Structure 1
């Protein structure tokens, strides 16, 4: 008989092979997590401490390590659960639709809100347009394989994209609509990411818990001529995403005074 999703069953210890107790428990739990379906309940600290004949503190350290590796997640008062596979937010500039298709997932939109309104000073500055000029505000809840993954909120100059709101209803990808209907290719973007916590309204849209952690991304996109196309802020579920970044040091240089210096 197959194990129910929320029935933790038992954790089968792997061969110790000289591992310390904490490493042995972690390796056994890692094997359990990889063999179990997403959302499977992990046995409690008490149960694991009894099974492995160790202190609960040792079990807690192993669980902390698995949580840091995104193999499990914890919900206060409910326990630890096997993590869903995480989606990497790539450093390559793609639309949500393109990104999900490349991952073999089916992109979609479960909710959409769009309206034309005057740009306030902040949005006007970001879009390099006059304050009070009409902009389109587009908010969409994006899904992958019917699971809510992100809330995208973006602003575009209405004068440049007349009729966009009607055309977007016929397309799932904003970038595809801009390319095919207006000949505008999004070529580059400046993006920042921060950790935020979902309020009740956004948590409901993403089918998760109020206060849950999320990635708050702010993006200014430009076309091939360097003209701003959009400015948006998006929320990505922290339990389903990781952020990928490429970092490097500048070359070691030798200043005129002869002392080595590193420009960062």
Structure 2
């Protein structure tokens, strides 16, 4: 049950409880408990319930049918292994290519206003900034700049980053399991410095990707800006229409 004196917000607790309820009691396309039923069952306010349901919808556990109510979605099953869904390493392997990641740099610094905003931390808080060059079959594919909060990843080193993919490092060394990630991407052209990193002429087509990754506690644990070569990198998305 929910612990109202816990430091974990009620809606976060409710999300976990409802996920377990869905997995144990409901099938795909079956009608979900109503807001009122959830309020009564777990003794929480409608505001808390709505916040939890909104997140469950974003996570692929439920979907809404206009005028009919809320139903269970099977989309979460497809998204269960987020390491696969968001891993460059796994994506390249699936394409039959040998992936390689070079950690170009790692530094600890104070978050400026931009970084603080996107990591959900206070301006001036310590963060790690890393730059990585991602390749496949010796072809440079993507250049990434990643920011992560230093307090969640103490004593992070280049050797640790080189020992395993980032999304394996998060849970194995720091007990930070990924809940979900939001991504935005758009077509662009390479600037001069970027073209040097990827070995392409300036002005070449590229794909720009912005990713914000969240932990199971709904904390932002990663903000990454990527530029990928447009002539080789294929970005796959599955849309589910209910």
What TM-score does the superposition give when structure 2 sets the normalisation length? 0.61
Quote the residue 1:112 is aligned against: 104
1:123 aligns with 2:118: no
CA-based RMSD: 2.2
What is the CA-CA distance between 1:178 and the residue it aligns to?
1.4
Contact map agreement 1:149 1:237 (CA 8 A) in 2: yes
Quote the residue 1:148 is aligned against: 140
State how far apart, in whole Å, the 2-side matches of 1:98 and 1:241 are. 14
1:224 aligns with 2:216: yes
Instruction: Give the structure with the larger helix fraction.
Output: 2
Residues 217-254 of structure 1: CA distance to partner in whole angstroms, max 9, x if unpaired?
Answer: 0000012222211011101110012332333556xxxx
The residue correspondences of 1:199-218 to structure 2 (distance < 5 A) are 199-218=191-210
What is the CA-CA distance between 1:194 and the residue it aligns to?
1.0
Contact map agreement 1:168 1:174 (CA 8 A) in 2: no
Q: Number of paired residues?
A: 161
What is the CA-CA distance between 1:167 and the residue it aligns to?
4.2
Quote the residue 1:65 is aligned against: none
Residues 159-190 of structure 1: CA distance to partner in whole angstroms, max 9, x if unpaired?
Answer: 11011124434424111111211111223101
Secondary structure of 1:138's partner? strand
1:95 aligns with 2:87: yes
The residue correspondences of 1:1-264 to structure 2 (distance < 5 A) are 93-110=85-102, 112-247=104-239
Secondary structure of 1:232's partner? strand
Quote the residue 1:27 is aligned against: none
What TM-score does the superposition give when structure 1 sets the normalisation length? 0.56
Q: Which is greater in Rg?
A: 1
Contact map agreement 1:196 1:215 (CA 8 A) in 2: yes
Decide whether aligned partners of structure 1 residues 248 and 108 sit closer, same or farther in structure 2, where only a CA change above 3 A counts. closer
Contact map agreement 1:137 1:156 (CA 8 A) in 2: yes
